[in-house]
Structure formats: C-alpha cells, structure tokens
Structure 1
Amino acid sequence: MLSMICKYLNISYVCTVKPGIVNVSEKIEKMLNGVFFSSLAGETLIQKQLLSSTVKWQPEVFAGWLKKCNVGPPKCAVHNGMHYIHIRSGKVYIVVVTDSSNASPFVIVDYLHRLSEILTDLLGTPTPESLLDNIGLVYELLSESTCAGFPKLTDTTKLKPFLSSTVIQPNKSDDLLSMLPDNLFGIAEKEKREIPSQSSKKPLLNNKIETQKNEVYIDLIETLSVIFDASGNLMLCNIIGKLNVKSYLSGDANMTISFNQPNGELSQAITHSSVNKSNLPQDIKMQVSPGNFHALSYNLSNIGESVSMPFTLYSSIMPYPQDKMLTLSLKIHCDLPVRHPAMNLVGKIAIPECAVSASGISSLVNITFNHDRKRSEYCFSCPLFPGNSHHTVTVKLILSSWTAAMVFELDKVLLQFEAPMMCHSEIKITDLKVKSVNTSSLQINKWVRYLTFANSYEFYLKDDWFPHTEMI
C-alpha cells in the first residue's frame, strides 16, 4: 500500500500540514527504521538507525538503483520488505527506510521536505562536503527531529535551541561566476557579479550572543508559469509568490513592509496569523522572532501583455521525408538585464517516439545535450544565459518511420530557469521598518533580495510543417 501511494505522489508535492509538531495517528505502530544521506553518485555520506528491525536495511541497495536508473531512482522502492523513500535536496539525496506498510506516506514525504528546508537554512545548498564538515550538527538534527522513529519536531524556531554544534563552512570551489573575466558586462568589481545570498549560509542561532550580527533578510520569491501559443502570443501568465523573513536579532522585533502597486490582479493573499494584512497590497505589519518566518503567499493573474517577458522563442521545423529526418531550429531571446543573466537554464523538447537518434548544436557556451529515450525528450542545459542577447539551438532528429502522428508529438518546448534580483510582477519593497522590542537604540542591518523561478515556461510549436506528400 505504501509503495502504491508513494508512486502516485509527485515528489514535489507540498504537504499542507501546519508547521510545528507533526501529528501521527496512534494506530501506526512504527514509522521510520532509519535515515541516510547519499551523494548523487550513490556514495553513502551519513546514516542513522532509528528503530531495530529483523530485516537489516542497506544504503548500498539505494546506490544500486542509482546506477541502474538513468532517470533517477524510484521514489518509493521495496527490497526485502524494506521501503526506501527519497527526495533530492541540493546535491544530495535524503532517504528514509521503513518496514511498516501502514506508515503514512504523507507524513514521511512531509518530514523529508522539512528536513531539507532545515538543512538549507543551516548549511545553504546541501552538498556532500557541507554535510561531512557538519556531521555533528546533522546527527543532532536527526536525533531532535525524531522520537523512536516518529517525526517529531521540525519547526526551526522550536528546534534551534536544542542544536549546540556550530556550522563549519566548506572551502569554496571555483564556480562559473569566479571564472568570468573582470570586465564582463562592464563590471569591474567581482563583488558586483555575485548573487547576494549569504544569509542562507548562516545558522539560525548563534550561541555566542555577543558576536551575533543584528541583521534582517527579506526574501521575495516568485514562481512563474507562462504559455505561448504557436504564433508567439501570450496565452497564460500566472505568478505565485511568497515573502520570507530571516531574523538574526537577539529578540523579537516589530516590522512594517511597504510595497508598490503590482502589475496584474492580486487574486489571493494568505498571510501568517500574526501578520496584519488590513492594508494589503500597500503594506503588512508583523512581529517576528529570531529564525525563519513565512509571512505572505500571494497569487497574481491577468498580467498585462505590455510587461516584458524574460524569454521569447521563434521556431522553425524543416522536414526531410525522403531521408526520414527533421531539423528543429530555435532562436531564443533573453530580455533580462545584462547585469542579471538567467541562471541554470534547462530546455526540454518533446520529440517523436520514432526518433532513433538526436543531436544538437548551439551558439551558447557551456551547453550540454541529453537524449532521454524513455520520456521521448531532448534536453539542453546551460548554467548561464546572458541578458539582452539571443542564441540559437538546432536539433537534428533521425527517425525510424515517417508518420503524421509526429505533428502531435513534436508540439512544445519547455524552459526552466532562475532569474536572480528580479520579480516579474515588478513588486518592489519600497520601505522596510524594523524596531526591536527589547531596545530602541539597536543598530539593525536590513537586506532585501528578489528571485524568480520558472518551472513551467512553455512554447507551443506550429503544426503546418508536415508535407502533404505520400508517406513512406
């Protein structure tokens, strides 16, 4: 039963359980036998036994699935009566093991996602190096968040007083931004090329209060969903946003955040119970405690066509029936500012199932291609797409047969990317007031950051390319 439900669930599912202690039905006799962390290559990093079992579980079983499956391991798999359930967090897999078929998959998946969020708050993006450098902190986290195999305490504001280990930052390796020339985009200083996201690397609680910095970070994060029709006209533009507050103050503080007028209609806004939203969308008021605080969620629709879209795409398909070959040419234009290029661009092209082979070329630098035959997709990825520029991607397909059904299979291109220091709704924080409850003379450093994700940015392709000739 557990395998069937977890197979049905999408691993990106977000549980609606309220923050705090996860309530588990008393009918469930036992939950988790163990937790372990694995690298993307299958190397076991950290493992912890939570409950004893007659059947021993082995992390090597999960590593075997990683090597066999090209598209990733199954979300829930069974081996010798043990259920292995996992999610990916940064550059590691978090895997829980249970031998109880009556365990709640919803509680397990929710626990995995909460565990991932806590690690991200403490260590930044989880990597094998950061986990091993902070192995004591990770063990403390696993011990305090579970009780005899039951997910117990996953609220960071309640959990952090129990964590005594300090965070050790791993040595910074050379990344793409550090290798770019100093005069790229006309910027001389290296600091101006880097994304200001250092707050995610700071622990929520510093035991040495005298060295604690009095800082407050406001993160405005938006998820963008866009659909263009085959003629290039905008059919849908929907934005889901959230406002997170990270407070590194020594005590509670009163905060007022003011906004400008957004593009589109604010159709839905959900706030935390302690937030005063009577003046939305002008401002919100709240009292925050040290730690991470989710203040606001909103939904924007009916975005005007006058708003510039981050990416536009022009496509052309050239058929060669006699050679059983197709050539798809994509011209992609990025309208983001030059100083804030798109990061981690991934493109997915749905190709016909009869495609025997696929090859691609592009004017982009550091682009990689991958043919996923199981999903009938041809993917390309690039760590950086320069702003205010256009590049081409050309894909050549060799087919085993020439059928009219290819018109319906070669139908769309999907883009995924990140746009730092940008909110597509053009919502801006115009004023930020923070006043400490304990003392009024406290000097507080205030930081505001913006980030846009696009996980569903679709372009439909034209279907008039199929030649009206006799099919081979």
Structure 2
Amino acid sequence: MASSIYFCDTKGKTILSRRYRDDVPASAIERFPALLLEAEHESSIIPPCLTHNDVQYLFVQHNDIYVLTMSRSLSVNVAQIFSFLYKLIAVLEEYVKTVEEESIRDNFVIIYELLDEMLDYGIPQITETKMLKQYITQKSFKLIKSAKKSKNVVRPPSQLTKSVSWRPEGIVYKKNEAFLDVVESINMLISANGQVLRSEILGKVRVKSHLSGMPDLKLGLNDKGIFSSDNSADKPGESTGKRANIELEDLKFHQCVRLSKFENEKIITFIPPDGDFELMNYRLSLPIKPLIWCDAKIQVHSQSRIEIHCRAKAQIKKKSTANSVEILIPVPEDADSPKFRYSHGSLKYVPEKNAILWKIKSFTGGKEYSFAAQLGLPSMSDVDVPKVKRPIQVKFQIPYFTTSGIQVRYLKVHEPKLQYQSYPWVRYITESGDDYTIRTA
C-alpha cells in the first residue's frame, strides 16, 4: 500500500521518515517542497495528491506538518491510504497530545515504534490505540531489563497472538451492562419557500461495554430487509413511521464485527472492545421533510432600519420534543441597535456573526413560535437595499426518535464461561448535522 511514511514541516522538508518498500527511490521526497510551492502558486487550495515522474505524493496537513506517503502503483486504494494517515494522526494524539513539528522532534523513539507496529511492508496491521498502549509506552524503548534471565524479558502481550486483539482477558465488572446509542444527524438544504433541495441522514451506532470476560453479542436491527437493496421507501416528505426495508448506504463496521457472518446471514455478531467504541456507521438518502422549519421575512423601512419577522415550527410528532434548539438568522453586516419582541425562548444579537441567535430550550412537536426584531441601518439614500444572502442555520436534538425508523429489536449478551445476567440499555437520538440550513428570500 504505502512505500514510506514521512513527516514534513510547512515547507515540505523531512522531519522523520520510515521506508517500507524500495519501489519509490529515496530521492523522490526531495521533490516534495518544490511540488508544494508550485501548487501554492497555482491555487490557494493545495490538492491532497500530487504527481511527479509517475510517483504519487499523497498527504494530509495537520497543524504545522504534512503526513505523507508515496506510491508508484496506479491501482493503489487512495481512500484506504488517507484513512490510515488520519488514523495515524489520531493514534499519535493519544501519545503526544498535540501532533506538531515540535512534538514530532521530541518523540522520535515512540513514533518509530508505532510506525513499525501499525504498518508491515506498507500494509496496515494494528491501528487500535487501546491495543498499542498495552505494549508501547513512553518508556517502551527499554524492552529488555536484563539479558541474563529470560524472566526479565518483556514479552509481547497475549493480544498479539489472539484473534481478538482489541480486547484483553480478565476484565471484571460488578454489574455487567451494555449501553447502545443510535445517533442520526440530519443534513438538509431548504429553499426559502420550504422546498427540500438536498437531504441525507448520517447514522452511527455507539456502544459502551461494561461487560466481564469475553462476551459474545448479537445485535438485531429491525429485520433482515434493512440491509437489502430492495428499498420500499415511504412517500416523499415522510420523516417518521415504519419502513419495511431501509437501504443503508456506505455501511461501515468496527473490526470486531464478524463480516463473514454478516455477509452470509445479515446478522451482526461481535466480541466488543472494553469501554466506548463506534460499532457501525451508515448513510441514508431519504426524501424527508424539515424537522424544524423556520421562515424569516425581512423588510427595509426608509433604508434606515430593518425589521425581521421570524416564525419557527416543530414538524415532528406531538409526543416528541426537540431540545436545545438554536436558530441563527443572518442580518446585514452594518446593522445595529437591535430591539426584540418575542414570547418564547431567548433572543440575542451576535455582532461577530452578523446574526440573531434564537434559543428555544424545549420545542414540542406541532408547536409554532415567532418573534419580531428591529435593527438600525446607516442612513442611506442612493444605496441599494441591503440583502442577506447567508442562509439560516438550525441546530437541535430530539431524543427517543430516529428519522430513518431504524430500531434495535434485541441486543443479546452471552458469556460462555461466566454465564452472567446482563443489562443492555438502548437510546435513540436525532440531531442536526453540520449542514442543516434554510435559504433566505
């Protein structure tokens, strides 16, 4: 996969490197600073892949360093390479806190050890931080205390020689519990007249395992049709309700899931790591209606003041409640002296964002609230009426609810040796994503 790994400074000069293959000459890295300089002259945004003399330079920028790998193969899995580079940075952050040029220079030994364990001949091997910390510590360069007695030789942990490398043996809890969260983030672009232009659901299933021994878990989600390509979606605009089949796109599992069992029988079985981890994530493209809708009318009076009338409605079931709702309404950059009239929530003028922030702590389904605001504008005569082109941004969180209709039918826990009673807990959360916006007229 990767011929080598390089850590470079902001100018592209090498700080630390580790070579795994000889298909790319060592001198190829000397060309990287010049390639960076050429890319900066051509565009303000440097692409993550540069090519020179049939060598692909694949890199990510983090703080004041570049993490780089090179390859000659055109059939290389680019997504896998970038996934590993980001994982490498995440692992280093667990060891050195902040990954930057100074911390790289101060931790050569530990970084070389990590690179040797995480890659073998350029192929990713061990990327779980919990496992790496079992045998690589800040003092791990002292692997042998004494060469005279074999009992003083520090041996690799048992996890390295077992198939379940992500979980050590001997874990004991007084109360055996498993907590499972199904979290769905909604990204949506809505026009000023309420038409949904783009919508998607980004879901993830998070697990917190407080279980003794080596438990074997079986997770049931809705029915087997949830993973089939036979998708019988509801009517457009329907955001809730039962769906016979849900087609999950970009489905990804944690390495603990038995993929062969899932591929053959569509059953999710796994031995969980200890503590928190993300079991799976998925994406759904469904025609859904806005869960929180907002309409803002802006009027300019005599070009000296601006008046805003805004109403918001919770378009969810009446038994559901949206919590921590925040609606950010943009205003002209030169507006000032705000005055508000409202009956619910709280309003605040945020001049650094040129916006009004409307907070509603609890928004029950079917309810509708409104406010009016008046702001001053500089005296203008022959100047065009100011227009606000930035969209309205909405944030919210709805507990006990999933937009896709995905449900956990069961979570069975079986520990063959200890045979204890377990207590699984399941929670559902729907929240706004990073891109839930409504265009203004």
TM-score (norm 1): 0.53
Distance in structure 1 (CA, Å) of the matches to 2:423 and 2:219: 15
C-alpha displacement of 1:248: 0.7
Q: Which residue of 1 aligns with 2:131?
A: 158
List aligned pairs for 1:40-119, cutoff 5 A: none
C-alpha displacement of 1:287: 2.3
C-alpha displacement of 1:449: 1.2
List aligned pairs for 1:335-350, cutoff 5 A: 335-337=315-317, 340-350=320-330
Q: 1:228 to 1:142 in 2, by over 3 A?
A: closer
C-alpha displacement of 1:399: 1.4
Is 1:28 the equivalent of 2:15? yes
SS in 2 for 1:422: coil
SS in 2 for 1:232: coil
Q: Which residue of 2 aligns with 1:192?
A: none
Percent identical among aligned pairs is 22
Q: Which residue of 2 aligns with 1:364?
A: 344
Q: 5+ residue gaps in structure 1?
A: 1-22, 31-97, 119-139, 163-204, 463-472
Distance in structure 2 (CA, Å) of the matches to 1:394 and 1:115: 50
Distance in structure 2 (CA, Å) of the matches to 1:419 and 1:230: 24
Q: Which residue of 1 aligns with 2:179?
A: 217
Q: Which residue of 1 aligns with 2:273?
A: 289
List aligned pairs for 1:69-468, cutoff 5 A: 149=107, 155=128, 157-158=130-131, 212-260=174-222, 261=226, 265-275=247-257, 276=259, 277-278=262-263, 283-304=267-288, 309-320=290-301, 322=302, 324-337=304-317, 340-365=320-345, 367-373=346-352, 375-400=353-378, 401=380, 403-404=383-384, 406-407=386-387, 409-439=388-418, 441-454=419-432, 455-462=434-441
Contact 2:6 2:16 in 1 (8 A): no
Contact 2:312 2:368 in 1 (8 A): yes
Q: 1:270 to 1:353 in 2, by over 3 A?
A: same
> Could you list the per-position Cα deviations for residues 413-466 of structure 1 after superposition, in whole angstroms to 9, with x for gaps in the alignment?
110112222211111112222212433x2101111111222132222222xxxx
SS in 1 for 2:287: coil
Contact 1:341 1:385 in 2 (8 A): yes
> Could you list the per-position Cα deviations for residues 110-157 of structure 1 after superposition, in whole angstroms to 9, with x for gaps in the alignment?
8997799x8xxxxxxxxxxxxxxxxxxxxx9979xx995578689563
Which has the larger displacement, 260-269 or 216-225? Answer: 260-269
Distance in structure 2 (CA, Å) of the matches to 1:332 and 1:216: 38
C-alpha displacement of 1:315: 3.2
SS in 2 for 1:278: helix
Which has the larger displacement, 105-114 or 427-436? Answer: 105-114
Contact 1:422 1:450 in 2 (8 A): yes
Q: 5+ residue gaps in structure 2?
A: 9-13, 18-62, 69-81, 115-126, 136-166, 227-242
Q: 1:434 to 1:353 in 2, by over 3 A?
A: same
Over the aligned positions, Cα root-mean-square deviation in angstroms equals 4.2
SS in 1 for 2:131: helix
Question: 1:425 is matched by which residue type in structure 2?
Answer: S
Between Structure 1 and Structure 2, whose CA radius of gyration is higher?
Answer: 2
Question: 2:428 is matched by which residue type in structure 1?
Answer: Y
C-alpha displacement of 1:300: 0.3
C-alpha displacement of 1:225: 0.5
Question: 1:286 is matched by which residue type in structure 2?
Answer: F
Distance in structure 2 (CA, Å) of the matches to 1:115 and 1:391: 48
Question: 2:351 is matched by which residue type in structure 1?
Answer: D
TM-score (norm 2): 0.56
Distance in structure 1 (CA, Å) of the matches to 2:264 and 2:342: 49
Question: 1:239 is matched by which residue type in structure 2?
Answer: I
Question: 2:311 is matched by which residue type in structure 1?
Answer: K
The aligned length equals 299
Question: 2:376 is matched by which residue type in structure 1?
Answer: I
